Amino acid sequence: MPKKTRRKKILIVDDEPNIIVPLEFLMEQNNYDVRVANNGEQALEIISTYDPDLILLDIMLPGIDGYEVCQKIKKNPRFKHTKIIFLSAMARSIDIARGLKLAPNEYITKPFSTTDVVKKIKALLEENQES
């Protein structure tokens, strides 16, 4: 009997419904288990119990911003295997450089191609299975 693989868990953190809705739909279509957070505080609460495999993280969020959420996740050894993709409208090279200093797995600028986002997610999560 083939071993049943657990669905990969993805947390989408964004405060814009026009970003969340299509991403959530797309992730579910690709058989991912999806949760959504609308701000940094909510993201950190969900992460502590949901333990996502990958986080799609906006930078400009109400309250705790994406930079701070990323730092908190990276500091916690429990989440060392959690992949982080920044999805941000902050597309200036200075903003991207600041984001990359926090060592996310990817930095994608808005507007983005949902096809590209799915490809990057699949690549990151498959990479995880080999380790």
Buried b / exposed e along 74-112 (16+ C-beta atoms within 10 A): eeeeebeebbbbbbbebeeeebeeebeebebbbbbeeee
Domains, the chain: 9-126 (3.40.50.2300)
Strand segments, DSSP code E, in 38-115 are 54-57, 83-88, 106-109
Structure confidence at residue 4 (pLDDT) = 65
Q: Which residues contact 10 (CB under 8 A, 6 or more apart)?
A: 27, 32, 33, 34, 35, 52, 53, 54, 55, 56, 121
The H or E element containing residue 35 is: strand 33-37
Q: For the chain, list residues with pLDDT below 50.
A: 130-131
For 12-50, what is each residue's pLDDT tens digit?
A: 999 999 999 999 999 999 999 999 999 999 999 999 999
Cβ neighbour number for residue 9 with a 10 Å cutoff: 18
